Structure 1
């Protein structure tokens, strides 16, 4: 059979023409797609840059409709919904992403994390907890654990909070020993309220072992020992507190005086408080020393002189008000009005203030009620800061 070169000569131009037509068709289709989807996408970006979120959402919805398989557009749209507070729409977007069978593992983890954030922002803590737990073993694990810790603290679920804090501590995500001690102290307080004092004591001893440098566990233990009628143990516990964490002693100064009086070891308590006051003058320690002097007839006249001595060191309106309360003025008939005005003026100065957010309170908190930060309240009054 002879091979006819004529067919080859005719076929080459035909193949070239067909290839050129196909390439032009694909090019036109690509250009059409680029004009359609990216135009809406870049329009949305432009609206975002101009802080026009409503128009940006409309543009991204248009882009998603043109190309429903583009996951990045879904992420952008879901994040926009969350920022606007439209959490139900954000949830639907991210749940739609998770329902896709062709989604990559990386994008699936991103969508799971975004869904957890949607639930958190919406205040759906039980659903957020479930979504966050699914992030174990993913690149979002550390963030998920921190969010879970916040949920458990907010709901006062201290055992679960302790479990998460232990995991984070073991994973070198920070030192959570002090926070774990706080959780034990919270559980001990609940047991004390229920009347189970021995179990509360056991938890407080665990807290001291977990964070020996922390002040709260020893102060709570001293208060528990006081409830159990063991003043000698109270004094010994607070003696260790003064050695381990002297800055926290003002919080326990009244309890120290009470325990010392009950055990007849007032001179020991006075020496301890005087040494602390010499290092760091404090209104609470000053009050404790005044109360010790006032309890003894021999030292009672000198008790109020401590306020004057304090004024030599500190410009304290609180100390001045307390000293003036026992003085006789030239116009004695006006003394009650003047004293009431001074006491009203010094009330804000005797509060405690959070170092993280500035929230002020009449009592000392271990966790700020405003910003939820632990150990943010110094053991000193506002006037002393």
Structure 2
């Protein structure tokens, strides 16, 4: 039986028609999918801009299901889950991205960084540390090291924090000299608590060399010198603060009084404090000056009242008014204690320190805020003076 060429002539057009129809169907399906994915994406973006995170997540999940290979939507989902505190879901999204073989190097590094942040927010510090260390030598190295600093600060691992700060300083990833000095001061406090005062002194001297303009290391060194019976050396260290970090003098006021009394240099120390007080009045400096007056500011001392009155002439201070009243003899003496208690109670909140970053208030000055963990966010002045 011979081959009939007419079938070939008939089959070729039919094959062409069927192929054309199939391609049109594929194109229509592709267009429909393309329309659905951007629509879901923009819907999610609109929800996100209106701070409707639940609806945004649902829309992004719909978009990801339409196109599972869309990495940007995965990143958006992971970030949304983390912001909502759904850390397990955020981890799964970033682990899914890392498991893909077709992921680019840049996206893989982004996914690794996102996974580290998930662990960090969830409080899984050991996993976060491991994930962040894998970003060494990548464009995200700076962000990873900053996150590592956060981990070491939260765990009070000051040795590791110091090492990271040194590396970032050497790599010119920012100026970390002041923070480095804080880490050394933290280590010095630990050494002093353990009784190793020489090691503590060495760390503080190193901190002064690293950040000469920072006040903390000199304050800690003066406190250590005073504790070891070296009031003259402590006073000299405190006097250096007047030249390098004069704004921090209110924090040193109490140490000035203690050191000056211990080595008999009340008059010269009072003159130094008065010089700075004239330029920048301060409640703590005022108390130190009065404490160094002859007679130590007793109740009947007119000089004490003079200083309090002088401050009140310049500033309407409830704190100073309460102190002035404590040295004043009233006509109705029997009412004095009640009035004094009322004023002291009203003035007490005004003697606190307030974090400039988050507003956290405390009775004592902190170098690192217990609330927001910011360094040097507490001004050296009381709430009433701000």
| Same-fold call, TM cutoff 0.5 | yes
Q: TM-score, normalised by structure 1?
A: 0.90
CA distance in 2, matches of 1:56, 1:266: 68
Summarize the Cα distance change of 1:365–1:76 in structure 2 as closer, same or farther, 3 Å threshold.
closer
Q: Deviations over 1:82-140 (max 9, x none)?
A: 33322112211211221122222122112112211221222222111111111122222
* Cross-structure match for 1:174: 174
Summarize the Cα distance change of 1:54–1:367 in structure 2 as closer, same or farther, 3 Å threshold.
closer
Summarize the Cα distance change of 1:127–1:235 in structure 2 as closer, same or farther, 3 Å threshold.
same
8 Å CA contact retained: 1:109, 1:138: yes
Query: How far off is 1:24 after superposition?
Result: 3.4
2:233 paired with 1:236: no
Q: How many residues align?
A: 379
* Structure 2 unaligned residues grouped into runs of 5+: none
Query: How far off is 1:37 after superposition?
Result: 6.2
Q: Deviations over 1:25-58 (max 9, x none)?
A: 1231232144246515522531441355445444
CA distance in 2, matches of 1:72, 1:311: 62
* Cross-structure match for 1:305: 306
Summarize the Cα distance change of 1:79–1:350 in structure 2 as closer, same or farther, 3 Å threshold.
closer
* Cross-structure match for 1:50: 47
CA distance in 2, matches of 1:30, 1:370: 57
1:190-229 matches, cutoff 5 A: 190-229=190-229
2:131 paired with 1:131: yes
* Cross-structure match for 1:271: 271
CA distance in 1, matches of 2:171, 2:31: 46
CA distance in 2, matches of 1:126, 1:219: 34
Query: How far off is 1:228 after superposition?
Result: 0.7
CA distance in 2, matches of 1:213, 1:240: 10
Q: Which deviates more from structure 2 when the two are superposed, residues 192-201 or residues 314-323?
A: 314-323
Q: Which deviates more from structure 2 when the two are superposed, residues 252-261 or residues 43-52?
A: 43-52
Summarize the Cα distance change of 1:151–1:354 in structure 2 as closer, same or farther, 3 Å threshold.
same
8 Å CA contact retained: 1:222, 1:233: yes
Q: TM-score, normalised by structure 2?
A: 0.90
SS at match of 2:267: helix
SS at match of 1:304: helix
Q: Deviations over 1:199-258 (max 9, x none)?
A: 000000000000001000000000000111111101110111111111111111121122
Question: RMSD across aligned C-alpha pairs, in angstroms?
Answer: 2.7
Summarize the Cα distance change of 1:55–1:376 in structure 2 as closer, same or farther, 3 Å threshold.
closer
CA distance in 2, matches of 1:28, 1:173: 55
8 Å CA contact retained: 1:94, 1:111: yes
2:261 paired with 1:261: yes
8 Å CA contact retained: 1:36, 1:66: yes
Q: Deviations over 1:250-302 (max 9, x none)?
A: 11112112211211222211111111111111111111111111536999442
* Cross-structure match for 1:22: 19
Summarize the Cα distance change of 1:288–1:84 in structure 2 as closer, same or farther, 3 Å threshold.
closer
